[in-house]
Amino acid sequence: MKIDFTVNGKPHTVDVAPDTPLLWVLREHLELTGTKFGCGRALCGACTVHVDGQAVRSCAYPIEYAQASQVQTIEGLESDRIGEAVVNAWIDLDVVQCGWCQPGQCMSAAALLKANQSPDREAVDASMSGNLCRCGTYSRIRQAVDLAAKNLREGAE
Amino acid sequence: MSGAKPQPASKISRREMLESLIGGSGLVLALAYGRPLRAAVVKQSESLATDFVPNAFLRISPAGEVTVIAKHDEMGQGIHTGLAIAICEELEQDPRQVTVIPAPADPAYGNSAYQVQVTGGSTSSWSSLEQMQQAGAVAREMLVAAAAARWGVDTSACEARDGAVHEKSGSRQLSYGELAVDASRQPVPEDVVLRERKDFRRIGKPTPRVDSADKVRGIAKFSLDQRVPDMLTAMVVRCPFFGGTLKRYDVSRAEAFPGVKAVVRVPTGIAVVAEGYWPAFRARELVEAEWDAGAGGSLDTGELRKLYHEKAKQPGMVARNDGDAIQALSNAELTVEATYELPFQAHAPMEPLSCMVILKEDGGAKIITGSQMLGADHPAVAARLGVDPSRVEFQNSLLGGGFGRRANPQSDFTIEAVEVALAAKSLGRPIKTVWNREDDLHGGWYRPMYLNAIKAGIDNGKIVAWHHRVVGQSIAKGTPFEPLMVQDGVDQLSVEGVADMPHGIPNLTVELHTISLPVPVLWWRSVGHSHTAFAKESFLDECAHAMGKDPYQVRRELLQGHPRLLRVLDLAADKAGWSKAPAPGVGRGISVHESFKGFAAHVVEASVENGRPRVHRVVVAIDCGLVVNPDQVVSQMEGAANFALSATLGSKISFSQGRVEQSNFHDFSIVRMNEAPDIEVHIVASDDEMGGIGEVGVPGVASATCSALFEASGRRIRRLPVEDQLA
């Protein structure tokens, strides 16, 4: 099946089985390996990308649903100020350990901050609890979301 | 890997043990085929002819690029940054301006504690610090000599500072890049003087991770991200029973699936080789396989628990025997008795396992993987291919978590990938064998299931007898590490943390029952300490309550004469506000434990909400001696607390009718953001011997959590994970 869609602002056409998860199209066809595979069943969030502005788990998102969609991945996250603030906060606080889950964490955090400029702890915990980190970097993820939110608010003043 | 110490009675030196390891094992050590260090590095790149390569760990290009070749694998613990800091301390270079790459498989990169190329046992920092400082110092001396020669002055008139050599009395300076070609021609100095601790400019100062930005941006390459032209993806149908065999199979539907290139038989099952993950995954579901379950077919966790409890009633192999614990128990005023159980645990690194194999015409291969133990994988692949190891090239990657799973002396997933490549050789294409989460959780190599049965005798408010039986599988038995780690029939990995307990109890017996099961087992972050610390520290808590004493004070009394344990214990208690009562409904638990030459104490605050455990706060005190990068010690303690909490609260591997009952993160439950506590880390400023870090933060968490839950609810958890036991 031919799928036309846009990834990080660039149009792409792929011809794959319609049930192929978006994750594998990104990783194998477009060679955008920043989106990670962790569970294959939308349980861990490592594969989180934005489709038309919504955070989705790309491992369980059949490519046929991405027809004519705008997809944003970690490779394109810094193209807007929220994404940039998230990535910078993650780097500033050395959130990563092994790093495998962190692109997905950043995609979820950016989606949260797009919807809520000043999330409190409960909101952060609720939004980020779909993203697992086996290394256990949760404290720093919380701090990084707070830092990104703060920097965005101060930058907007 | 292990922090196991040789038994006091043992007269075997480390060298003798290593010799026996080399001589008496099937593992052909990388040491056996050493070649010049420069050769090892030159393979990394073709543009090296003009690079300055003073040793195996460092190269500097004429353009000024400084590359550190990391002998230890980066799996999150920050060791790439740590190694860079140690080299840069003496090289006089900003560690933020270096590139760190994984080492190839080569004896030059052997772990200095184990003499095998492996990252484990929390050995990386302490075992390699001085070697890295020397590597940097040698390079600096050669750069200084090159500058002195260029200027026609004595080396004493020159000084290396921040990536350049400066003339002390003048304004002349030359960057390391400008000196690279000349430095290569300088003699390698035989002796270098290393800076004293008080003069350190980089070691011990907070340094940002070298890998943060690339990992956050998704640019960093892990094993699963590695791609080569024409590559295929393979997935293997494995036997659902450990030790089972394939009886009948039909692959016709799988072979007909679009994108499938081959379906081949391999020793571990049936491999589907296809153009990418999705066709391989879909076609694998179409393989019809019938298995003879074999010995593993009857595995059942309930039955295993019965077996372990039965074993614990009988005397085992003696791991330690001080005084007469049986006699002292029978004479004691008060006895306390408890049994602690821990399940199999999967490592479940977030990045599923993968290994790419590119077979070469000369019979060798290039392997692109994510390994903690090239020292085992390299000779194993060479042996399987029947070629000299020099024909097998390894390209290691960043590891998306390891926790021990990628350090398998039996090289399971590496050899399986080679088997797949050999079976599908006629395709003539590189093949990456990929595991998914279900494969990972079903695939074995777990932390063993353990039981600890303990009795204590108390006289006059003092513990005078301690009788401890451990029941569980041996990790080292049957591996090349057996001669090193199994002494007089006792696998030190099974009893570490209790057989060496320093509490000064006069009558102390530790016994071990080693169980044989078809379940493959492996070291899991903190190895034996992951169960012995839970049992020992929980039981001390029970004894304290039986004596009506404060659990913190009981530990203080028992640990007199052990200043490093006392110091972390006092620090954790102080920072946690132990002397003040916790908030209403909140319980508090404390633990202190030595492992891997590091010392950690934990205070945990927890409560029970709607029958569920809720951990609010973890206070950690850590003494690892000299600290290379303080923020990464903090990071490791934070991560270790959450890693340990997962195994305390929710994750386990269990069996029913021979099958593993868990399959993915919905039923292998690890801590999520909404369950993650606040964690405070306090590092002891210590001039004592350097020790481990990565594993040291794990052992004390489970007992401190369960002691806190006891204080909050009055219910004692003696079997992990807690799950719904408080409902």
* Model pLDDT for residues B665-685, shown as the tens digit of each residue: 999 999 999 999 999 999 999
Weakest mean pLDDT among A8-12, B30-34, B62-66, B168-172: B30-34
Record the pTM: 0.95
Q: Which amino acid is at B287?
A: V
Q: Determine the average pLDDT of the residues in A62-85.
A: 98
Q: How many residues does chain A have?
A: 157
Within 8 A of B258 by CB-CB distance, chain A residues are 17
Q: Is A47 on the interface with B (CB under 8 A)?
A: no
pLDDT-based confidence at residue A155 (cuts at 50, 70, 90) = confident
| Confidence at residue B44, expressed as pLDDT on a 0 to 100 scale | 45
Q: How many residues does chain B have?
A: 727
| Confidence at residue B26, expressed as pLDDT on a 0 to 100 scale | 28
Residue pLDDT, tens place only, B53-82: 999 999 999 999 999 999 999 999 999 999
B158-161 vs B98-102, strand pairing mode: unpaired
Residues 458-517 in B contacting A (C-alpha not used; CB under 8 Å)? none
Q: Among all chains, which residue has been given the structure tokens 């989606």?
A: A111
Per domain, the residue ranges of chain A are: 2-76, 78-156
Weakest mean pLDDT among B25-39, B129-143, B154-168, B604-618: B25-39
Q: Are B95 and B79 in contact (CB under 8 A)?
A: no
Q: Is A56 on the interface with B (CB under 8 A)?
A: no
Q: Is B229 on the interface with A (CB under 8 A)?
A: no
Residue pLDDT, tens place only, B557-595: 999 999 999 999 999 999 999 999 999 999 999 999 999
Residue pLDDT, tens place only, B236-293: 999 999 999 999 999 999 999 999 999 999 999 999 999 999 999 999 999 999 999 9
| Confidence at residue B652, expressed as pLDDT on a 0 to 100 scale | 98
- For chain B, give the percent of residues with pLDDT over 90: 92
Facing A141 at nearest CB: one of B401, B645, B673: B673
pLDDT-based confidence at residue A120 (cuts at 50, 70, 90) = very high
CA distance A70 to chain B (A): 19
CATH architecture of B34-214: 2-Layer Sandwich (3.30)
DSSP string, B592-628: EEEETTEEEEEEEEEEEETTEEEEEEEEEEEE-SS-S
CA distance A14 to chain B (A): 14
**Phi, psi (deg, nearest 5) at residue B632:** -80, -25
| Confidence at residue A156, expressed as pLDDT on a 0 to 100 scale | 72
Contact across the interface for B643 and A87, Cβ inside 8 Å:
no
ipTM: 0.98
DSSP string, B21-51: HHHSSS---GGGG---HHHHHHTT-STTTTS
Contact across the interface for B216 and A87, Cβ inside 8 Å:
yes
Residues 263-292 in B contacting A (C-alpha not used; CB under 8 Å)? 276-279, 281-282
Facing B217 at nearest CB: one of A44, A87, A140: A87
CATH topology of domain B223-294+353-434: Aldehyde Oxidoreductase; domain 4 (3.30.365)
In sequence order, what are the residues at sequence separation of 6 or more whose Cβ sits closer than 8 angstroms to the Cβ of residue B626? B129, B197, B203, B204, B686, B687, B690
CATH topology of domain A2-76: Ubiquitin-like (UB roll) (3.10.20)
Q: What angle do CA B239, B240, B245 make, to 5 degrees?
A: 35
Per domain, the residue ranges of chain B are: 34-214, 223-294+353-434, 301-345+445-713
Contact across the interface for A131 and B348, Cβ inside 8 Å:
no
Q: How many inter-chain contacts (A to B, CB under 8 Å) are there?
A: 185
SS3 at position B291: strand
Within 8 A of A36 by CB-CB distance, chain B residues are 218, 224, 350-351, 400
| Confidence at residue B33, expressed as pLDDT on a 0 to 100 scale | 27
Q: Per-residue b/e over B411-432, b at no fewer than 16 CB within 10 Å?
A: bbbbbbbbbbbbbbeebebbbb
Q: What distances in angstroms separate CA B465 from CA B313, B337, B551, B556, B591, one per listed residue?
A: 18, 11, 18, 18, 20
Please say if the pLDDT value at position A148 is more than 60.
yes
How many angstroms separate the CA atoms of B340 and B329, rounded?
A: 19
Residue pLDDT, tens place only, B344-387: 999 999 999 999 999 999 999 999 999 999 999 999 999 999 99
Residue pLDDT, tens place only, B392-409: 999 999 999 999 999 999
pLDDT-based confidence at residue B9 (cuts at 50, 70, 90) = very low
Q: Determine the average pLDDT of the residues in B73-101.
A: 98
Facing B276 at nearest CB: one of A28, A125, A137: A28
Contact across the interface for B673 and A138, Cβ inside 8 Å:
yes
Facing B217 at nearest CB: one of A16, A41, A74: A74
Name the CATH code of domain A78-156 (choices 1.10.150.120, 3.40.50.2300, 3.40.50.1950, 3.20.20.70): 1.10.150.120
How many angstroms separate the CA atoms of B366 and B260, rounded?
A: 23
Facing B216 at nearest CB: one of A37, A91, A139: A91
Contact across the interface for A132 and B220, Cβ inside 8 Å:
no
Facing B278 at nearest CB: one of A17, A91, A102: A17
Contact across the interface for A20 and B278, Cβ inside 8 Å:
yes
The average confidence (pLDDT) of chain B is 93
CATH architecture of B301-345+445-713: 2-Layer Sandwich (3.30)
pLDDT-based confidence at residue B170 (cuts at 50, 70, 90) = confident
pLDDT-based confidence at residue A157 (cuts at 50, 70, 90) = low
How many angstroms separate the CA atoms of B526 and B450, rounded?
A: 14
SS3 at position B125: helix
* Helices (runs of H) and strands (runs of E) counted in chain A: 5, 5
